[in-house]
Amino acid sequence: MYGLYGALLLWAVALYCVRRDFARAWAEPCLRHPVMVFEGDDWGYGPLEQADALRDIARALSAHTDAQGRHPVMTLGVILAGPDEARPDEAEACVALDDARLAPVLAEMRTGVARGVFSLQLHGMQHYHPAVLDKACAQDPALRAWRRQPFPATEDLPSPLQSRWTDASSLPSQALDGTDIVSRATAEVSTFARIFGVMPAVAVPPTFVWNDAVETAWAAAGVRALVTPGERYERRGADGMPVDSGRLYRNGQRCASGLTALVRDDYYEPVRGHRADRGLEALARKWAQRRPLLLETHRSNFVGRHARHQDSLAAIDSLIAGARKRYPTLCFVSVEALADAYAAGGSVLLDHGLPARLRALPSRLLTTGRRRKVLLLLCVLTAFAVALTA
């Protein structure tokens, strides 16, 4: 009998250790069907060859449908502006996406939205902070040269400077002034609305570095949802890497700012060798957890020095085909629709039943090999204790 008490005590200790994760896993709603979305970042301002890439991606996505006849969606995290080569030394001078020279890029975005294969999300006015970049330029001739090119690609900037919401002109980065954040976040929302004729529903912080002031300003300006990696980075460390703030997010979480959080923590970058099997593995894991698969991918797969355009198209096509075959009820929706479903708590996309929640719980909790080993050990000890008692 003492063995059984001992086993129960060990179970209680184990549950106590994971109580926060347990509460978070239990609170997160479950999906009714598998969901897969491609999350394409960094489109918009930049090289004109984006227009051809966007047309080809739209064509590839249009070739597939789910059981409801919806096409797979690639969200486009849009960058609205970048340096003006005619005024390279003016920190705030910029060319916006509705400049006549970028009309072919904008037209392909709009065409893809009309076809139901693209969904536009706010990634930022620029993929950097103009005043911070200007400070960094004063120290670095290579940065000044970058700013003098016609439509330079922000992927070529040093990673810390691609973070818009911290001052990484020197490392470790410093916090930005709150009023500066509010005015820039508000301005980028209104610029998005001017260019596309609709408010941005979803925002994606560049490099996933942001803070409460950014969130609150976006929400006040009309943004409804926030794409996160499941946690928040607020600055860059001395080594230039994002520093974890300890703030966690889950799908459907109503943030203090009022935004609805989504979690994007899987990647599909064909230039890095990612192929259908990787995407299918991620989809299986996410479906077991009754969570959506948001696959981060970048325009650099299709455009720029390292791009492998045809390979990337083929990799997306084969993943969609494989996912449709393996999951007949797979749903293709936008992140905006997903966020609205979480916020509304409806039952078309969500399953509020107890069986779904109980089924998802082990997959949501047993995310590391260590936890699986502990569970196995507890099960063995419990069986041993029961056997001794019987």
- Is residue 41 involved in binding Zn ion (CB under 5 A)? yes
Q: How far is the CB of 33 from Zn ion (least distance, A)?
A: 29
Q: Which of residues 111-170 bind Zn ion (CB under 5 A)?
A: none
161 and 133 in contact (C-beta within 8 Å)?
yes
Q: How far is the CB of 44 from Zn ion (least distance, A)?
A: 10
Which DSSP symbol is given to 291? Answer: -
Contacts of 264 (CB under 8 A, 6+ apart): 39, 227, 228, 229, 294, 295, 296
Cross-strand pairs, 82: 95
Q: Tell me the window of 39-47, 56-64, 187-195, 299-307 that interacts with Zn ion (CB under 5 A).
A: 39-47
Report how far apart the first and last C-alpha atoms of the chain are (Å, whole number).
Answer: 9
Toward Zn ion, which CB reaches closer, 42 or 336? 42
Toward Zn ion, which CB reaches closer, 28 or 41? 41
Q: How far is the CB of 287 from Zn ion (least distance, A)?
A: 27
Q: How far is the CB of 6 from Zn ion (least distance, A)?
A: 52
State the burial class of residue 197 (Cβ atoms within 10 Å of its Cβ: 0-12, 13-18, 19+).
exposed
Q: How far is the CB of 235 from Zn ion (least distance, A)?
A: 17
Contacts of 244 (CB under 8 A, 6+ apart): 231, 232, 233
Residue window 196-235: x/- pattern of binding to Zn ion, with contact defined by CB under 5 A: ----------x-----------------------------
Q: How far is the CB of 335 from Zn ion (least distance, A)?
A: 15
Toward Zn ion, which CB reaches closer, 35 or 203? 203
Q: By beta-carbon distance, which residue lies closest to Zn ion? A: 41
Tell me the CA distances in angstroms from 200 to 47, 69, 193, 228, 341, one per residue in order. Answer: 23, 25, 7, 16, 17
Number of Cβ within 10 Å of residue 127's Cβ equals 27
| Sign (positive or negative) of CA dihedral 365, 369, 371, 374 | positive
Task: Kindly provide the b/e burial profile for residues 172-183, where b requires at least 16 CB atoms within 10 angstroms of the residue's own CB.
Answer: ebeebeeeebbe
Size of the site for Zn ion (CB under 5 A): 3
Would you list the DSSP string of 57-107? Answer: HHHHHHT---TTSPPP-EEEEEE-EEE-TTSTT-TT-EEETTSGGGHHHHH
Q: How far is the CB of 104 from Zn ion (least distance, A)?
A: 21
Toward Zn ion, which CB reaches closer, 39 or 42? 42
Q: Which residue has the tokens 């449709």?
A: 324
Distance CA 323, CA 61 (A): 13
Beta strands 293-298 and 36-44, pairing class: parallel
Of these, 42, 167, 266, 296, which contacts Zn ion (CB under 5 A)?
42
Q: How far is the CB of 42 from Zn ion (least distance, A)?
A: 4
Q: How far is the CB of 127 from Zn ion (least distance, A)?
A: 6
Using DSSP's 3-state secondary structure scheme, residue 336 falls into helix
Toward Zn ion, which CB reaches closer, 28 or 42? 42
Toward Zn ion, which CB reaches closer, 151 or 287? 151
Toward Zn ion, which CB reaches closer, 133 or 385? 133
Toward Zn ion, which CB reaches closer, 112 or 206? 206
Toward Zn ion, which CB reaches closer, 118 or 342? 118
Q: Tell me the window of 41-49, 226-234, 264-272, 318-326 that interacts with Zn ion (CB under 5 A).
A: 41-49
Query: Can you read off the two tokens belonging to residue 163?
Result: 């973070």
Distance CA 179, CA 183 (A): 6
Q: How far is the CB of 269 from Zn ion (least distance, A)?
A: 12
Distance CA 72, CA 333 (A): 7
224 and 198 in contact (C-beta within 8 Å)?
no
Toward Zn ion, which CB reaches closer, 126 or 253? 126
Question: In the complex, which residues of this chain contact Zn ion (CB under 5 A)?
Answer: 41-42, 206
